[in-house]
Chain A
């Protein structure tokens, strides 16, 4: 009797289709990704029923930490450079090319403008670990640093929208100080960044 031969099947699978799917998904995720900003400070935003999505560009962002420190951020690198130029003009601070380059990539910062050059001289890693004191807000005294930031940024980019991202637990006092500064520059319209929630019935 002849032996029945069971044909050996190959264990290899055609990976082509799987590979196609994987790269299709990969392409999708690469295109849709917007990287999370490097956070100088952790901010837990309040929720509201507002439905307007935050615009993608032309944003001037004020971030208010729970302890009341205020940070400033512009989304566009050219606007940042333009702002730095105006700061150096107004405050008589000379920035080196290296410092300008560092400022160009700075997402969010908050400190007295006079200590800015020293901060920009640091390494990026050192900068990330430095605790920043927050912008110098002085709406009643002679200094108008925040007002100048608002004015200069708007001079560089006229389409800027102003957004305030404040932590839930920030005291209103710190929030009011920014609004005060904005109103000193005749900005009466701004946005509060919130996360979406449903209205409770």
Chain B
């Protein structure tokens, strides 16, 4: 492959005519190609192709204003609360409007699979649509417990976008009902 510029032999020997030798213009490119591919390999391996995506989160503002207490609270029967617990479990419940000592509350526990939590959420959306006319009336409160994983929160938020829940918020589990449930399921709340 390598080409060498062999001087032309068999010319006129006797006459020493100082004729400038015609050099071949061909250059051996093998080494250059080698180098090129080496660098390509390096850059290919160093490149990050799939750019990470982001998920936008908007938290409700902390209200420092004590006068805000006058604002009407949302009707609890329009809400749906999900407590994110350890071991990839969700505890979901709908709190009734008024709670007294005779109130009984059904808490569903599920995992994050499509058959688990998603089904419960979709049922609740249907209930809301039947009761209030539109499924967007539903307000979902996501309450991650301190020992749950970040993955759980991301999954829960993802579930909101998959099911088209328009109104949801990440909140702290500081409702009295939450503390009762946390006691029952044996998880830390704070």
Complex contact A172–B149 (CB within 8 A): yes
Name the interface residues of B1-18: CB closer than 8 Å to any CB of A.
Answer: 1-3
| CB–CB A194/B54 < 8 A | yes
User: Are the CB atoms of B158 and A200 closer together than 8 Å?
Assistant: no
Contacts of A49 in B (CB 8 A): 158, 161-162
Which residue of B37, B55, B58 contacts A48 across the interface (Cβ within 8 Å)?
Answer: B55
Contacts of B113 in A (CB 8 A): 200
Check A50 against B55 for contact (C-beta < 8 Å): yes
Which of chain A's residues have a CB closer than 8 A to the CB of B129? none
Of the stretches A8-16, A78-86, A104-112, A142-150, the one at the interface is A8-16
Q: Which of B136-166 contact A (CB under 8 A)?
A: 144-155, 157-158, 161-162
- Binding site of A, secondary structure by majority: helix, strand, loop or mixed? mixed
Stretch in A25-33, A116-124, A152-160 touching the partner:
A25-33
Binary B-proximity of A24-68 (CB < 8 A = 1, otherwise 0): 011001101111100000000111111111100000000010000
Q: Is A74 an interface residue (CB 8 A)?
A: no
* Interface positions of B from 37 to 72, Cβ below 8 Å from A: 37, 39-40, 43-44, 46-48, 50-62
CB distance from A10 to the nearest CB of B (A): 9
Instruction: Please report the C-alpha to C-alpha distance between residue A87 and residue B33 in the assembled complex, in whole angstroms.
Output: 51
Are B55 and A201 interface neighbours, CB within 8 A? Answer: no
B29 within 8 A of A: yes
> Of B29, B43, B57, B155, which one neighbours A46 at CB under 8 angstroms?
B155
Best-buried of B2, B28, B37 by chain A (most CB within 10 Å): B37
B33 touches A175 (CB 8 A): no
- Chain A nearest CB from B132 CB (Å) reads 26
- Taken together as a complex, chains A and B put the C-alpha atoms of A46 and B155 apart, in Å, by 8
Any A CB within 8 A of the CB of B84: yes
Query: Contacting A53 at CB < 8 Å: which of B2, B53, B145?
Result: B53
Which candidate, A95-103, A129-137, A181-189, is the interface stretch facing chain B? Answer: A181-189
Chain B contributes a number of interface residues (CB within 8 A of A) equal to 50
- Please, which residues of chain A bring their CB within 8 A of the CB of B39? 26, 29
> What is the chain A residue whose CB lies nearest that of B145?
A172
Min Cβ gap A174→B in Å is 8
Contacting residues, chain A, for B53 (C-beta < 8 A): 48, 50-54, 193-196
Interface pair B40/A12, CB less than 8 Å apart: no
Most chain A CB within a 10 A radius of its CB, from B2, B32, B43, B114 = B43
Contacts of B114 in A (CB 8 A): 200-201
Does B54 contact A50, Cβ atoms closer than 8 Å?
yes
Interface residues of A (CB under 8 A from B): 11-13, 15-16, 18-19, 22-23, 25-26, 29-30, 32-36, 45-54, 64, 163, 165-173, 175-176, 179, 183-184, 186, 188-196, 199-201
- Given contacts A50-B55, A170-B149, A179-B59, could you give 9 more A-B pairs where the C-beta distance is less than 8 Å? A18-B29, A45-B52, A54-B51, A168-B150, A172-B153, A175-B153, A183-B59, A194-B52, A194-B53
